[in-house]
Amino acid sequence: MQDRWKLATKVIHAGRESNQAGALVTPLCQSATFVFDSAEQGGARFAGTEQGYIYTRLGNPTTAELERKIAALEGSEAAAATASGMAAVSAALLANLSHGDHLVASNAVYGCTFSLMTSLLTKFGIEVTLVNFSDEAAIKAAIKPNTKVIFCETPVNPHLDVYNLDLIAAIAKQHNLVSVVDNTFMTPLLQQPIKHGIDIVIHSATKYLNGHGDVIAGLVCASNEQMEVIKYEVLKDVGAVLSPHDAWLILRGLKTLDVRLERHCDNAEKVASYLEYHPKVSKVYYPTLKSHPGHKLLGPQMRRAGGVIAFELDASLEESIKFINQLPLFSIAVSLGDAESLIQHPASMTHSPYTDEERSRAGITDNLLRISVGLESVEDIIQALEGGLDKLHINQLL
């Protein structure tokens, strides 16, 4: 029956199991370890011949429900909850890359993902090539005999380029590569990469999935075969697993994901339309706009465009920073998906690990700003932006 449920129903009901007390809300199993009935039972569980919990780093009932739920939402066989979004990225890559292997990734990714790839992985003899994933020929040209993984975000952080998942999956299968997609900006309610042939989907569950700005978490969705390595080799030994309390908070947040996303998207569409015609905004990056190259993938790939907008001011770096500092209503913060509207400056914040040259190749300019459109009244959000842009105009005249 669960397979026939709509996603709005799955976010509430999928993955749930009955509990001894009959509690409607998932019980929080705040225990580090689990008691065995006998030494023989403990040995059997460690040997894998008997199912059951051993130690929360290896599995926990509360965390397991979250994993079942996100797997049902993404359409994957299994999922693993991690201590952060970066732990999810790391687990997916470490499970599939070894010394001497090669990774192809998009040249615009979250700053810490970029740093992991270009600084940490290379220390262990893993080769990395970054290319523009809007260019099919560039992706294919980057593939080598030792390439094992192809990785991207879509939409891209921060400037919301949209990549064709069917194409990426086809290239990966043609060359026997593992395809990995960061689906954080979309969530499975707006985009399901596995349905397009992608092998592994990751999330920073800190963002929309939790939705309340009080948890750091990640999720990895993949096949049972992939999960054996991700969960019981990488995460077991690295230890970057999610606490049951944080899993419980995300389960609570997921119940309102569908209604929250609709408001985020509604607000963002109106804000993007407002910004596109403002004389002090030189460019707006948001896929619902017909000027955006990713517009054609709305429908075939993405149900809606999400709640993140990037835009370039017709202003200098100094003026752009002043605009952020003087902007009412918005909080200056680097996350997204919270109830509050947030603004940040990618070049100096989330994407600061990039050099100037690398930022230029990735299209991250000094006057590029990223906003996470919140759940406030859209009239108040637009009024705040209008007030900030008016001040920018006055400052330029002085």
- Which residues neighbour 165 within 8 Å (Cβ) at sequence distance 6 or greater? 154, 181, 191, 193, 196, 197, 198, 301
Tokens of 204: 């920073």
- Which residues neighbour 251 within 8 Å (Cβ) at sequence distance 6 or greater? 26, 62, 65, 66, 69
182 catalytic, yes or no?
Answer: yes
CA neighbor of 149 nearest in space, from 95, 79, 203: 95
CA neighbor of 89 nearest in space, from 103, 100, 75: 103
* pLDDT at residue 397 in the model: 54
HEC profile of the chain: CHHHCCHHHHHHHCCCCCCCCCCCCCCCCCCCECCCCCHHHHHHHHHCCCCCCCECCCCCHHHHHHHHHHHHHHCCCEEEEECCHHHHHHHHHHCCCCCCCEEEEECCCCHHHHHHHHHHHHHCCCEEEEECCCCHHHHHHHCCCCEEEEEEECCCCCCCCCCCHHHHHHHHHHCCCEEEEECCCCCCCCCCHHHHCCCEEEEECCCCCCCCCCCCCEEEEECHHHHHHHHHHHHHHHCCECCHHHHHHHHHHHCCHHHHHHHHHHHHHHHHHHHHCCCCEEEEECCCCCCCHHHHHECCCECCCCCEEEEEECCCHHHHHHHHHHCCCCEECCCCCCCCCEEECCCCCCCCCCCHHHHHHHCCCCCEEEEECCCCCHHHHHHHHHHHHHHHHHHHHC
Q: Which of 10, 45, 148, 207 is catalytic?
A: 207
Q: Give me the half-sphere count of Cα atoms (radius 13 Å) on the Cβ side of residue 282.
A: 11
> pLDDT of the chain along its 398 residues, tens only?
567 889 888 998 888 888 877 888 889 999 999 999 999 999 999 999 999 999 999 999 999 999 999 999 999 999 999 999 999 999 999 999 999 999 999 999 999 999 999 999 999 999 999 999 999 999 999 999 999 999 999 999 988 999 999 999 999 999 999 999 999 999 999 999 999 999 999 999 999 999 999 999 999 999 999 999 999 999 999 999 999 999 999 999 999 999 999 999 999 999 999 999 999 999 999 999 999 999 999 999 999 999 999 999 999 999 999 999 999 999 999 999 999 999 999 999 989 988 888 888 888 899 999 999 999 999 999 999 999 999 886 666 55
- Give the CA angle between residues 396, 289, 132 to the nearest 5°: 90
* pLDDT at residue 363 in the model: 86
Tokens of 319: 């003026």
Q: Which of 45, 69, 110, 286 is catalytic?
A: 110
Structural domains for the chain: 7-254 (3.40.640.10), 257-397 (3.90.1150.10)
110 catalytic, yes or no?
Answer: yes
Q: Is 125 exposed, middle or buried (0-12, 13-18, 19+ CB in 10 A)?
A: exposed
* pLDDT at residue 392 in the model: 83
57 catalytic, yes or no?
Answer: yes
* pLDDT at residue 1 in the model: 52
Write down the pTM of the prediction: 0.95
* pLDDT at residue 395 in the model: 61
* pLDDT at residue 18 in the model: 81
Round to whole Å and give the CA distance between 71 and 127: 31
CA neighbor of 69 nearest in space, from 221, 241, 244: 221
Q: Which of 101, 182, 199, 366 is catalytic?
A: 182
260 catalytic, yes or no?
Answer: no
Q: Which of 16, 57, 252, 361 is catalytic?
A: 57
* pLDDT at residue 129 in the model: 97
* pLDDT at residue 2 in the model: 67
Q: Are 365 and 312 in contact (CB under 8 A)?
A: yes
Tokens of 227: 């999960």
Q: Is 393 exposed, middle or buried (0-12, 13-18, 19+ CB in 10 A)?
A: middle
* pLDDT at residue 123 in the model: 96
Sign (positive or negative) of CA dihedral 49, 53, 54, 60: positive
Round to whole Å and give the CA distance between 38 and 24: 32
* pLDDT at residue 385 in the model: 97
- Which residues neighbour 31 within 8 Å (Cβ) at sequence distance 6 or greater? 56, 60, 244
* pLDDT at residue 398 in the model: 53
